[in-house]
Amino acid sequence: MRISTDMGWLDPLRVEHAEPLFELIHNSRSHLYPWLPWLKRIHSPQDTEAFIRQLCTERGPQFVIMVDDRVCGGVGFYHLEKAERKATVGYWLGAEYVGQGIMTDAVRHLCHYGFEHLDLKRVEIRCASQNMSSRKVPERLGFFYEGVQPKAEWLTDRYVDHAIYSILKEEFSLAFAQDSEPAPISPREERALVPGERPAEAPGASKSDKDHWPEWPRLNW
């Protein structure tokens, strides 16, 4: 199923995307390498095709991000737990497309697809805590910041902590209600906040973590 976005569309990942994806990965390797351990397996369009087949077999729905008929990156549900109706979103973007709002737009529409068509109740995003570009996506979309998981992932030559964000279906619906009034605060936010304050710091949160709490109330669509 193709998903329309404000800036283009999300195309279901297929082996036919191997060539343009490899070209994008090759041109963005230095930009992507610090955060994507699977990059070391991709050295040709054939490697890319094999990786696409693996993703489509082992993961949830995967998409390529299209803007102006050009492949810009990838986004999808990397961990989909159908019984519990929750999923984790993963994403990456070619270096030349960073800073244009493309990924925020893509993730917003992917979440809408997950909640409305896959009947998900919860979506998570887990980012390396030092990858501030990646963290800006859930923060801009009003995800709830849950804290830091220490040494959550081995990336090539080091462990990285994960900053964990989540949003529930009812929170997403409130955040992106199509009306002119500010979205009401969700019950989870209400429990987490003291009037005039931001959420309590998570144990182990770094200064960068504290500086990137989501703004409240959430943004409208």
Is pTM beyond 0.85? Reply is: no
Q: What is the pLDDT of residues 78-136, one digit of tens each?
A: 899 999 999 999 999 999 999 999 999 999 999 999 999 999 999 999 999 999 999 99
Are 117 and 99 within 8 A, CB to CB? no
**Can you tell me the distance from the alpha carbon of 61 to that of 1, in angstroms, rounded to the nearest whole number?**
10
Interior angle at CA 169, CA 167 and CA 174, nearest 5: 90
Residue from 98, 21, 7 nearest 55 by CA: 21
- Domains in the chain: boundaries: 3-210
Superfamily (CATH) of domain 3-210: Gcn5-related N-acetyltransferase (GNAT) (3.40.630.30)
The pLDDT score that the predictor gives to residue 187 is: 56
CA distance 140 to 101: 10
